[in-house]
Copies of this chain bind each other. A is one copy, B any other.
């Protein structure tokens, strides 16, 4: 079993799905002969043909709208949006139709589609290529939002997303695409979409994060461990609907919560999680919870992107704040 990167794990999951389910169809810009600008679909058109892996015209609302029509007619489309800054034209179709068709028709029509898109900053990309906009989708009823943070989870969660009978927006953290390798068995085993993953156990405080920031969050946990503080690290993984049981269980033990995300702070998912924890477990909290997030500014071009993304130091400082109360 070879060690592979996250983007290779995405490719592996897509190949597995194409191989085992004839209703799976990939569509997107440059996913065919070019294999996707990040190579997530490399080799797939060659292997599965132009009927299964479709290069589309350049139009994101179109990609989403086509996928809805395809899904409602029984296919399982997996659509790629090339960068997260270009996902906005899909929002109308996703919120007004993908997430609604089941309830609008009381189950008569459903939309088992996946919308894959890269997410986040940190790869020196051009303007509009580095946004984190998962919170917009997490606010949409009827839509699942998922973001893996390792090759194994990318593989298992993507398979689960493709098999899920409802629409899933699947964010892939570009910064992790090639950062780590991990052994990934091509077992076809999905990972559950209704639980977070506890990546590290700890009794002193709970760090919740997702996507690329898991990397800094784990690093912060290691830095804290050096000072004798044991942080529990939870990868949210499925960002909507959120598995609060795991989080509340952890906070019940640690009494301290820090949520870390790259997206802007205001109306980000950190607010959602702090609020729910405060609401449901306020008395468990030994100290006010803390958010460590991107600022409420446009993701800067790359000369300043590292000042925008929460650093290990900022996470550690947040943890200290919550530890000192």
Contacts and interface: CB of A to CB of B under 8 A. Distances in A.
Interface of A: 61, 85, 88-89, 91-92, 95-96, 99-100, 103-104, 127-128, 133, 135-136, 138-139, 141-142, 240-242, 263-264, 266-276, 278-283, 285, 287-291, 296-298
Contacts of A100: 298
B298 A288 contact: no
Given A88-B92, A91-B91, A296-B241, A272 B266 contact: yes
Given A91-B91, A272-B271, A139 B264 contact: yes
B271 A282 contact: no
Nearest to A263: B139
Contacts of A280: 288
A16 to B, nearest CB: 31
Contacts of A135: 139, 267
B270 A275 contact: yes
A139 B268 contact: yes
Contacts of A141: 264, 296-298
Q: Which of A128, A136, A271, A285 is packed against the most chain B CB atoms within 10 Å? A: A271
A170 to B, nearest CB: 17
A267 B267 contact: yes
A287 to B, nearest CB: 7
A135 B267 CA distance: 6
A209 to B, nearest CB: 15
A288 B278 contact: yes
29 contacts: A61-B89, A85-B96, A88-B92, A88-B96, A89-B89, A99-B298, A100-B298, A103-B297, A104-B298, A135-B267, A136-B139, A139-B263, A240-B266, A240-B267, A241-B266, A267-B267, A267-B271, A267-B272, A271-B271, A271-B273, A271-B274, A274-B274, A274-B278, A275-B278, A275-B289, A275-B291, A278-B289, A279-B289, A281-B288
